[in-house]
Amino acid sequence: MIKFKSIILAGALVLPISGSSIALAHQDDLRLAITHTRAAVVAGRSNKPSVLVRHSTEALFYARDAQVDHPNIHIRKGISRLKEAIKFGNKRRSSATTIANRALQELERAPQ
């Protein structure tokens, strides 16, 4: 019985891989990157640099995936800004919030 379920599960993981699924994955990755970047900005405005870094790191992960699926200048700039926000957030500098906000603006400009 367990082997049968494993085969079904493996089949389910293979089925979604198609052109339209890749486009949907890009949209989900970009949406998640934007969501985490917004959370990073809110954390920065609340003077919580460790939370800003955590959300910026999550956003960076999703933004990189979105960039792989559909390369775009705005996503690339957003990735660069997120890296910078993480760097300054780790140093507990208030400029990390401004930089995260710039990353958010770039990611929101990317076509979905």
Provide the CA 65 distance to its chain's centre, in angstroms.
Answer: 8
| Sequential pLDDT tens for the chain (112 residues) | 444 444 444 444 444 444 455 556 668 999 999 999 999 999 999 999 999 999 999 999 999 999 999 999 999 999 999 999 999 999 999 999 999 999 999 999 999 8
Task: Look at residue 34 in the predicted model and tell me its pLDDT.
Answer: 97
Ordered by start, the domain boundaries in the chain are 23-109
- Do 81 and 92 contact (CB within 8 A), yes or no? no
Provide the CA 11 distance to its chain's centre, in angstroms.
Answer: 27
DSSP H helical segments within the chain, as ranges? 2-14, 19-45, 49-69, 73-90, 95-109
CATH of domain 23-109: 1.20.120.660
pTM of the shown model: 0.78
In 3D, which of 65, 76, 37, 64 has the Cα closest to residue 53?
37
